[in-house]
Amino acid sequence: AQSVAQPEDQVNVAEGNPLTVKCTYSVSGNPYLFWYVQYPNRGLQFLLKYITGDNLVKGSYGFEAEFNKSQTSFHLKKPSALVSDSALYFCAVRGMDSNYQLIWGAGTKLIIKP
């Protein structure tokens, strides 16, 4: 069965420090991986995706993520956190062999403290 795990319900980071939000997945075949962000009272917004190619992908707002096939992980990173990065982050995966279903993690609340 396909699944996505975001092991941390909440991540706290001081402004200016690097941040990492973790995601691991299980899917049949090669994965398509996505990160989305949800701000309070706003819809889900796409951040970045991995389809194929370079394992390090860059996305919106200075975020990047590294695909690690052996560890089946796709962690979200940013070198220097901003208070405005505080939001709910979701990892999602779709398998090449799936019925187009996008499987979502439970979300990680990111809190950046000034």
Partner 1 sequence: ETGVTQSPTHLIKTRGQQVTLRCSSQSGHNTVSWYQQALGQGPQFIFQYYREEENGRGNFPPRFSGLQFPNYSSELNVNALELDDSALYLCASSLSRRRDEQYFGPGTRLTVT
Binding site for partner 1 (CB under 8 A): 4, 32, 34, 36, 42-46, 49, 51, 90, 92, 94, 96, 98-107
* Structure-token match 């939000």, residue found: 21
For CA atoms 11, 102, 64, 73, give the dihedral sign.
positive
- Per-residue tokens: 61: 């707002």
- Residue 10, C-beta contacts closer than 8 angstroms, at least 6 positions apart: 108, 109, 110, 111
**Residue 81: CB minimum distance to partner 1, A:** 22
**Residue 18: CB minimum distance to partner 1, A:** 25
- Single-letter code of the amino acid located at 75: H
- Per-residue tokens: 58: 């860059």
